[in-house]
Structure formats: structure tokens, C-alpha cells
Amino acid sequence: ARWAERGVGQLRLLVPRDGAGVPRLVMRVEHVGRLILNEPLLPSTATPVRASDTAVRVALVSSLERQPVSYLLRVKMPQEAEALLRAISSHIPAADGARGEA
């Protein structure tokens, strides 16, 4: 497995308000706006893990390729990594349609 940097930008966790859709991780390249991450959090999404003090690794099933893809999300501060880990974990839907645990 080879890592390739996709770019720098603001990561957003989009959660549908009406509960009808699935949460998505979305990221665009800073200043350019090119979409570099737009993947759903599905019941099959593995629980993200801390890869280092300032990084979270998450494996998602690519909506385009239908294959697992690992992403390493880096932040500036350890507290941000912990908050990111909790936010993603709490929005992974359970198999029965409920959200993950907070």
C-alpha cells in the first residue's frame, strides 16, 4: 500500500439534518476548491484509529471504486485529532440505522 498526499484543505463532516441520508466526509483543496474527498460513512466503515498524536486513520469504502481506501487525516494539535476521532466514530451508522456511540 502506497500513501499519496491528496492536498491540504478543511475537512467537513456533513450530517443530514432529517436523518434520511448518511453522513459524509468532504474535503476540498485550499484556494482551488477541487474536491479531494467525498465519501459516505457507512455501517461497514471501520472505527477510525489514532495513527499518531496529530493524525487519524480511517478506512472508507470508496463510492466510486467500491473498494476500501485508507485515509490519513492530519491536524495541527493532538486535541483536534481526538475531537476528529470522536466525531467520525459517533457518526458511523450502526447496521440497524442508528448512529454510532458518542
Number of domains in the chain: 1
- Domain boundaries, position 64: 11-90
Instruction: Please tell me the pTM assigned to this model.
Output: 0.84
| Residue 5 falls inside a structural domain | no
Question: pLDDT of 5-62, one tens digit each?
Answer: 888 899 999 999 887 889 999 999 988 889 999 999 999 898 999 999 999 999 998 8
Question: pLDDT of 58-96, one tens digit each?
Answer: 999 887 778 888 999 999 999 999 999 999 999 999 877
> What's the rounded Cα separation, in Å, for the pair 10 and 33?
10
Task: Write the DSSP string, 22-71.
Answer: --EEEEE-TTT--EEEEEE--TTPPPPEEEETTEEEEEEE-TTT-SEEEE
User: Domain with 28 in it: what CATH number?
Assistant: 2.30.29.30
